[in-house]
Amino acid sequence: MTFGNILRSDLTKTKTILDERYLGFTYEATDFTPAQEYNYIIVGGGTAGCPLAATLSENYSVLLLERGGVASSDPNVLNESNIVGNILNAKDKGTPAQPFISEEGIPNNRGNVLGGSSMINFGFYSRADDYFYMKSGIELDTVNVEKAYKWVEDGVVSIPDPLNTWQNSTLQALLESGVGPANGFTVEHLQGSKIGGSTFDGSGRRHGAVELLNRAHPGNLKVVVHATVDRIIFSSGVVRQLELFIMIQKGFLMKST
Ligand SMILES: Cc1cc2nc3c(=O)[nH]c(=O)nc-3n(C[C@H](O)[C@H](O)[C@H](O)COP(=O)(O)OP(=O)(O)OC[C@H]3O[C@@H](n4cnc5c(N)ncnc54)[C@H](O)[C@@H]3O)c2cc1C
């Protein structure tokens, strides 16, 4: 059965094994001595930061700094059944989810953990709308975009099959209220109702963006947790040279050129 332009069977290879190879190059800030230079320093090991670090590390030295910790053993993060409790128990510090109020005054939550908000979210996965590409004004290389989608989908996306009670009742409610057509399974962004991908596997275990770090070149990437970036000082005194100083919570100073 086709699934957008992906074979459904590609995504049903269930990702039940939690892959934690990234722990081999992940350090606590208090135990880490940084190198003098990195080609790239990424602030925030979240949904975007983890895959960015992994792909850059194929050719460059990369330091990834994340203010939160590692949630590998936290059942509130890993188990689909704990999604809501995790949000309800969110505190300003020390919990994977952190409550905040948006600039518009709306209470919300965000990730404060390696993997970022992909470790606390509802796991629904869909490719972007064509309109998004048109509006971006960027001429994207569609072949590479397709490759990037597949890279993510191979790593962390499964098909929810069978749907759980909540998913099924939401789908039925949408269909009954006339949100059609019913598109079945697809990762494409289509008008109507659909069953999209999920970062929860068949046994209800989350596969957040943190697992995309496993695709990194391990010799080129250092991930440091409990490392909050306070300020970044740019100095452009020398042509093609960028000096970047980052103060992390332990208080030492790093330099990247
Ligand atoms: C409850 C909830 C449910 C959601 N459900 C879905 C869903 O089902 N499907 C979907 O597509 N989207 C969902 N989203 C939205 C989606 O999760 C986010 O849009 C996405 O994860 C944001 O990715 P990001 O990389 O921009 O930020 P994040 O993933 O939040 O990453 C930012 C990272 O930066 C770190 N950081 C921040 N400041 C610093 C600093 N000064 N120093 C060091 N590190 C720092 C943070 O700790 C965090 O890890 C949901 C969001 C929430 C809150």
**Rounded Cα gap, residues 187 and 181, in angstroms:** 15
Q: Which pLDDT band, with edges at 50, 70 and 90, does 248 fall under?
A: low
Query: How crowded is residue 83: how many other Cβ atoms within 10 Å of its Cβ?
Result: 20
Q: Which residues, in sequence order, are CB contacts of 62 under 8 Å at separation 6+?
A: 38, 39, 40, 41, 42, 53, 56, 216, 220, 221, 222
Tell me which residue has its CA closest to atom 16 in ligand 1: 117
State the DSSP H helix or E strand holding residue 162, giving kind and residue range, or none if neither.
none
| Tens of pLDDT, residues 2-58 | 334 444 445 554 556 778 999 999 999 999 988 878 899 999 999 999 999 999 999
Tell me which residue has its CA closest to atom 37 in ligand 1: 44
Instruction: Say what the pLDDT of residue 49 is.
Output: 97
* One-letter amino acid for residue 256 of the chain: S
| Tens of pLDDT, residues 68-126 | 999 877 888 999 999 999 999 999 999 999 999 999 999 999 999 999 999 999 999 99
Query: First and final CA of the chain: distance in angstroms?
Result: 50
Which atom of ligand 1 lies closest to the CA of 229? 42
Which atom of ligand 1 lies closest to the CA of 68? 47
Contact present, 85 and 78 (Cβ < 8 Å): no
Share of the chain above pLDDT 70, in %: 84
Parallel, antiparallel, or unpaired: how do β-strands 107-111 and 97-101 relate? antiparallel
Instruction: Say what the pLDDT of residue 98 is.
Output: 97
Which atom of ligand 1 lies closest to the CA of 123? 8
Q: Which residues pair with 41 in a beta bridge?
A: 63
Which atom of ligand 1 lies closest to the CA of 83? 1
Name residues contacting ligand 1 (CB within 6 A): 43-49, 65-68, 87, 109-112, 116-118, 120-124, 228-229
Contact present, 112 and 97 (Cβ < 8 Å): yes
Contact present, 249 and 228 (Cβ < 8 Å): yes
- Decide if pLDDT at 146 tops 70: yes
Q: How far is the CA of 116 from the centre of ligand 1 (A)?
A: 5
Tell me which residue has its CA closest to atom 31 in ligand 1: 46
Q: How far is the CA of 254 from the centre of ligand 1 (A)?
A: 25
Q: How far is the CA of 9 from the centre of ligand 1 (A)?
A: 29
Query: Measured between alpha carbons, how far is residue 224 from residues 40, 137, 148 in Å?
Result: 14, 34, 25
Is residue 256 classed as helix, strand or coil in its secondary structure? Answer: strand
Pocket test for ligand 1, best of 28, 47, 76, 229 (most atoms within 8 A of CB): 47
CA dihedral defined by 204, 208, 214, 218, rounded to 10 degrees? Answer: -150
DSSP for 172-225, written as a single string: HHHHHTT---EEEE-SS--SSEEE-EESB-TTSBB--GGGGGGGS-TTTEEEEE
Residue in this structure with the two tokens 């069978």, named with its chain if needed? 162
Instruction: Say what the pLDDT of residue 255 is.
Output: 46
